[in-house]
Amino acid sequence: MNVQRRTLLRAIGAAGVTLTATGYATASDGRAEYVVTANGARARDRLVDAGFEVFREVADGAILGVRGPADAQSDIEGVPGVKAVSRDVTVDFETPVRADADDVPESGPLQWDNRRIEADRAHDIATGAGTSVAIVDTGIDFDHPDLGNVNEDLGVTFVPEGAEANDGGEDSAVRGHGTSVAGVAGGTGANRIVGVAPETELIPIRVFPDAGGARFVDIFAGIDYAASVGADVANFSLGVPGVLPPQANEGGIRSGIQTVFQSAVRRGTVVTASAGNAGGNLQQGGGFSLPNSVPAAFSVSATGPNDKLVFYSNYGTNEIDVAAPGGGYETEEKTFATDTPFPAPTNLIFTTAPVDAGTYTYIAGTSFSAPQVAGLAALVRELAPESNPQQVEQEIASGAELVNGKSDPELGAGRINALNTVRNLDG
């Protein structure tokens, strides 16, 4: 397969969802859109009485999407019952670079990630049967041969009014990220890709339109919906871009993520989240990234075939819960070398892509380490269906390997091992 180094760099940067803030969210009539965290049931009515439009309610009204003038933040803050507010922003990423199906070899070390965490051996004990994993992303391709376990009836799309997007959570070739994430978590292996939980049910939740970015109020609605339909796991391979400065920690976006994630966890849904691809130290200088800096998120950094933290993954003590394969090596140069045991592009993650965009792809990023953990959480829920999210996370951390303790700045409790985890529960 002939893929140039520049192409692979772009693939990692784009497909890894190092999201870029593309601007403030604005209604079609030009009004500004705000994310409001409410403290009390009457905040909505008070905002309406103050002349604002409340166009979306999330988590039983704990988060509100509000429209008003562009200079209205202080006025909204002054409404009784408003806990936090900030302008909503849109985030977007480039269309991933994918390999054509004809260029993908029929044999070779394709799913090294599955074998590295011993998911193939774990499937003798658990496969995710009777569980569900929600993919909060760009949707899932309903026609993919390895994704026949999609629950189309539960699929849903949250996008701005008037934006173009498939209904019911279906992905499109112009996006594709969610389809790739879904294959890692729950590919059935009917044709080529075996996910960590091949018999789980995949719930497609689309929060990106075909063109333009996703609003955070829609992302919040997607997470909330996953919990409302009883998903065992909600995978969130999206987030605020980069390593943010401490002062950004005060706004409504951080408050909204924390509120929605905690609400989902209280209702029994494990939320797995990618650590981000800025290669940043989240421990030093007070910087943070979202959502992995929120306690309710089970944050996942990315490793390569040699179990080292890859060059793009964020890290930091008390910020990373566990690690999982995300593709690439610890340096950019090694990732694109041709003399390693897994030469480029085979050290990336081989997974599903929309049928109209090649069907399969090599791809990389913490976006693809998080669904490894989501699939493992489904295996845990199959074996221990009454376990709460904290217990699921504890089982995954206990089965992880390579480090002592749970606070390694790069790997948290360690790189996950599916076989260890299910054996601990099955013994």
pLDDT digits (tens, 9 = 90+) for 208-218: 999 888 999 99
Q: Which residues pair with 150 in a beta bridge?
A: 202
Cβ atoms 216, 236 nearer than 8 A: no
Interstrand relation of 132-137 and 201-206 (parallel, antiparallel or unpaired): parallel
Residue 404 burial (10 A CB sphere; 0-12, 13-18, 19+):
exposed
Is 159 strand, coil or helix?
coil
Q: At what angle do helices 389-399 and 366-383 cross, to 10 degrees?
A: 110
The DSSP-derived string for 79-112 is STTEEEEEE-EEEE-PPPP---GGGS-SSSSTTH
Q: How far apart are CA 384 and CA 124, in angstroms?
A: 16
Q: In three state form, how does the secondary structure of 395-414 look?
A: HHHHHCECCCCCCECCCECC
Q: Which of 22, 11, 405, 361 is nearest to 213 (CA)?
A: 22
pLDDT at 318: 84
- Token pair of 165, please? 């997007």
What structural domains does the chain harbor? 5-20+98-426 (3.40.50.200), 26-87 (3.30.70.80)
- Token pair of 119, please? 């998911």
Q: Which residues pair with 65 in a beta bridge?
A: 35, 56
Which residues are known to be catalytic?
A: 137, 177, 367
Residue bearing tokens 């998911």: 119
The DSSP-derived string for 180-232 is HHHHHHH-B-SSS-B-SSTTSEEEEEE---SSS-EEHHHHHHHHHHHHHTT-S
pLDDT at 242: 57
- Number of C-alpha atoms within 13 angstroms, CB side, residue 400? 29
pLDDT at 309: 97
Q: Residues of the chain whose pLDDT is less than 70?
A: 1-22, 94-109, 239-251, 284-290, 292-293
Query: Which positions ≥6 away from 119 have C-beta within 8 Å?
Result: 194, 196, 375, 376, 418, 419
